[in-house]
């Protein structure tokens, strides 16, 4: 009997926890307003804290912040992804969907630089949001995390139901755009002052040109 009561208590506890999670699955009006205010002010530290306080809502925070200040969308994507690395793919997708598709490659590169282990998944997710930018997105993420170049191509090919050869061909054709997006991502991250990542200096194996020497890479955090 005691065992049954214990099991029942556990089940009720799990149900209560699940219900609370369901009820808090969207941003409250107060949090949303604060996120928008912080984004408009360019207060990345406050946005990171908001994510730390609400990690399950990282993608919603990122989306709201990017929509409130599109000019800072790339930096916002990096900051939020860094604060909630397990949500990196959702964050990249949400930010890319909230701003002009012309920023998609830079958003993807910024998130990949912040959470390199998610680079392939990030590239695939952002390509689905901005398919017209597929080549630039793939190239930008390859520049950001060259060690995952093959995995990035494979992930994009799987997501778009195309061949890896076709995906790489598009990335090569859009190499300059991808390089520019990766540079933009690196600059955006450096301006936040709190994320230590850097853009690699060569990806010649994929016919992507070297990083623009006029752009100073970010030094890794100690």
Phi, psi of 176, rounded to the nearest 5 degrees: -65, -45
Q: Quick one: tokens of 47?
A: 């946005």
Which residues are CB-contacts of 52 (< 8 A; sequence separation ≥ 6)? 83, 84
pLDDT given at position 20: 32
* pLDDT (tens digit per residue) in 107-122: 999 999 999 999 999 9
DSSP state of 209: P
pLDDT given at position 194: 56
Mean pLDDT of 84-99: 97
Band (193; pLDDT cuts 50, 70, 90) = confident
> Is 70 exceeded by the pLDDT of residue 209?
no
């Amino acid at each position: 009997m005691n065992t049954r009561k214990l099991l029942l208590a556990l089940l009720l506890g799990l149900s209560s926890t699940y219900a609370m999670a369901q009820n808090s699955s969207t941003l409250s009006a107060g949090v949303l307003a604060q996120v928008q205010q912080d984004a408009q002010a360019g207060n990345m530290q406050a946005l990171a804290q908001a994510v730390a306080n609400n990690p399950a809502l990282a993608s919603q925070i990122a989306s709201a912040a990017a929509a409130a200040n599109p000019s800072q969308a790339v930096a916002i994507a990096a900051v939020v992804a860094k604060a909630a690395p397990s949500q990196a793919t959702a964050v990249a997708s949400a930010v890319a969907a909230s701003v002009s598709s012309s920023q998609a490659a830079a958003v993807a590169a910024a998130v990949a630089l912040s959470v390199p282990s998610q680079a392939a998944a990030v590239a695939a997710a952002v390509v689905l949001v901005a398919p017209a930018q597929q080549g630039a997105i793939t190239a930008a993420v390859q520049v950001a995390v060259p060690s995952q170049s093959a995995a990035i191509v494979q992930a994009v090919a799987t997501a778009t139901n195309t061949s890896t050869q076709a995906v790489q061909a598009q990335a090569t054709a859009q190499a300059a755009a991808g390089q520019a997006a990766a540079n933009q991502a690196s600059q955006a991250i450096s301006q936040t002052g709190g994320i230590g990542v850097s853009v690699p200096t060569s990806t010649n194996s994929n016919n992507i040109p070297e990083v623009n020497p006029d752009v100073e890479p970010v030094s890794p955090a100690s």
